[in-house]
Amino acid sequence: MATATTDPVRLPPALRLPKLVQSVLFLTSLQFSVAPRLSRHYGGPFTINLPIFGKTVLIHDRDIVKDVYSTSFDLIERPTKVLGQAFGPGSTFSLLGKEHLERRKLVLPNFHGKRVKNYESIVEDEVLRETANWPEGQEFETLSTMTRLTLNAIMRATFGERADALDELRIVIPPLITLGSLMQRMPPVVRREYGRWSPGSKLAGYRRRFDAVIDELIAEARAESSLAERTDMLALLLQARYEDGQPISDQHIADELLTLIAAGHETTASQLAWAVERLRRHPELMTRLAEEVDAGGDELRQATIYEVQRVRSTIAASLRTTKTKVRLGEWVLPKDTGVMIDFQLAHESDVNYTDPEAFNPDRFIGTTPPSFRWVPFGGGVNRCVGASFANMEMDITLRTLLREFRFAPTDAPDEGRNFRGVAIAPAGGARAVVYRRTDAASSDRDSVSVANHSS
């Protein structure tokens, strides 16, 4: 773990470029090519200068990652400057210390065991609904489908089946999340409300519409005599109680629900799109996965999910801030220094993995991903509470897709990474050519030139 110290400051080598240039490199898709080069150049951690966060040490070494995630929040904590402001003061992303741990204890049980299993039928239903009109034999982007099905699934799991309320939320939530994520990377002056058409005013308007729906749903839920029998997350949060017997306030519930939806649908949608993008370039693996689905198995599919998350994480990094001067490995960081755990570098490290550039799900057969080397959901007390739900959603979606469709392989170049403000998605939208498995008449499915890519 990191420890408090009075030793002289000793930061990793600093990137010597103007702050504006550094910001562009690390807040856009350029980071995916620049960070590996800089890590190789410096031989490990290095220091960059970012807007909002200031001096930030970028790390990926498993021992230092473990130290960061294991250190008390009295020394290192998650900054709330970006996501907390986007979701509101009652969001888990806004809470720190003891208050955060208490909220986490109330939210986390909603994403484990039987409760997550209750949502499997919702996910399968949404997959079938969204793929009902997929065109056969012609290339199309799958990312939009994945985004709709994960949004619909998380909303039904969160709010139940109130159709008119969900219709309003389907309109409000996408622009609220997109605009909110972009605005939080802007200076405070840009985020203010300057009139009806200003970005700040539009964002506030979307949030008011969201809150109005939540207020109505909360009032209806409280009036139901069968509230205790409901399994949706809204009902569970309304019934949750802190150790002193107090409930979560209505406004905090609204903030938490927005957090769950925002963090839970776009990242999973992008991860599913990456799964399509990767599998089309590995036809032998697709064949094995389809055979496993037909046989009722899931071991290879789960290993594939782990490997997709390793080679194409949809979140770039997790951030922490030092609250005092700390020793972290061989470095001494002053107070208010950012610490960025770079997921891509951790997952592509030849110290962490054998042949890390290869897309090889078999590396996870019969085992679970190694702690502090596989970190797509972050780690420590701030690890994503929805990790189990996201894993279930990917598993059910891939199982259903492999059961219903045959994906034509491709030798097209790998799709690049596109940073969309919240998640990292395939730049081409995860293009696919599919055939329904019930249509055996098509002979085109085997006519595609195939190259079994190694990355």
Tens-digit pLDDT profile for residues 237-253: 999 999 999 999 999 99
Spatial distance between the Cα atoms of 397 and 395, rounded to a whole number of angstroms: 6
In 3D space, the residue among 419, 84, 91 whose CA is nearest the CA of residue 266 turns out to be 419
Spatial distance between the Cα atoms of 439 and 446, rounded to a whole number of angstroms: 13
Give the model's pLDDT for residue 84.
Answer: 58
Give the model's pLDDT for residue 199.
Answer: 80
pLDDT-flagged residues of the chain (< 70): 80-85, 184-191, 421, 439-455
Percent of the chain with pLDDT over 90: 66
Q: Could you tell me which residues are beta bridge partners of residue 47?
A: 14, 57
Flag whether the pTM goes above 0.85: yes
Whether the Cβ atoms of residue 305 and residue 371 lie closer than 8 Å to each other = no
Strands 54-59 and 338-342: parallel
Give the model's pLDDT for residue 272.
Answer: 98
Whether the Cβ atoms of residue 300 and residue 18 lie closer than 8 Å to each other = no
pLDDT digits (tens, 9 = 90+) for 175-220: 888 887 777 666 666 667 777 778 888 888 999 999 999 999 999 9
Percent of the chain with pLDDT over 70: 93
Tokens (6 digits) for 311: 């080679």
Tokens (6 digits) for 332: 């001494």
Instruction: Measure CA 1 to chain center.
Output: 26
Q: Could you tell me which residues are beta bridge partners of residue 115?
A: none
Give the model's pLDDT for residue 242.
Answer: 95
What does each C-alpha distance from 252 to 33, 244, 261, 325 come to in angstroms?
39, 17, 14, 33
Give the model's pLDDT for residue 22.
Answer: 86
pLDDT digits (tens, 9 = 90+) for 66-117: 999 999 989 999 886 656 567 888 988 888 889 999 999 999 888 877 789 9
Give the model's pLDDT for residue 185.
Answer: 63
> To the nearest whole number, what is the mean pLDDT of the chain?
89
Give the model's pLDDT for residue 452.
Answer: 45
Give the model's pLDDT for residue 184.
Answer: 66
Spatial distance between the Cα atoms of 91 and 107, rounded to a whole number of angstroms: 11
